[in-house]
Amino acid sequence: MGVSGCGKTTIAQTLATKHHWHWFDADDFHSPASKAKIERDEPLTDADRLPWLQTLQIQIQQWLQADRPTVLACSALKRNYRDLLSGGNPAVKFVYLKGSYELISQRLIDRQGHFAKVELLKSQFDTIEEPSPDEAIEIDIDRAKDEIVRSIDTALLINN
């Protein structure tokens, strides 16, 4: 979880590949109307996000029921979003990819081909409710991808 440009997709793909898990990008579940709004640099409202979050929550429950290890790259910016996504199930773990505004804005400027642009970053930093240590594993993103993945593995007590 984290703001646009923090590395959610990259880290999710890397973790999933390493452990032979499935992975999904929550952006792929946005409605066309929400994607269009984001492309116009308009922040999504809670009302825009609710159907998306509900769809993701159903997916997560299906993965859990099927005992299908899955990594979902999702912003999950607010606590109530995370509560909805987890459905209160302790098997759902959140990893907060945290970085400075300066670092992430430069990543967004350098990123090509994504519908979320740097203009939305300020609204995401304004919106994010940083999780407490008991709610999520916090990982500093100002490191190499492999170091980040090792830190996540260690925090989740996964044998490397």
Summarised one tens digit per residue, pLDDT across range 86-127 is 999 999 999 999 999 999 988 888 776 555 556 688 889 999
* Cα–Cα distance, 36 to 41 (Å, whole number): 9
Q: Is 76 a domain residue?
A: yes
Q: Is 2 a domain residue?
A: no
Q: Which residue has the higher pLDDT, 40 or 92?
A: 92
Instruction: Find the CATH number of the domain harbouring 34.
Output: 3.40.50.300
Q: Is 124 a domain residue?
A: yes
Q: Is 160 a domain residue?
A: no
pTM for the full predicted model? 0.90
The string of pLDDT tens digits covering residues 54-82 is 999 999 999 999 999 999 999 999 999 99
Average pLDDT, the chain: 92
Q: What's the domain count of the chain?
A: 1
Domain limits at 85? 8-155
Q: Is 101 a domain residue?
A: yes
Q: Is 21 a domain residue?
A: yes
* Cα–Cα distance, 141 to 39 (Å, whole number): 25
* Cα–Cα distance, 25 to 20 (Å, whole number): 16
Confidence of residue 152 (pLDDT cuts 50, 70, 90): very high
Q: Is 54 a domain residue?
A: yes
Q: Is 79 a domain residue?
A: yes
Query: Out of 47-51, 87-91, 96-100, 155-159, which region has the weakest mean confidence (pLDDT)?
Result: 155-159
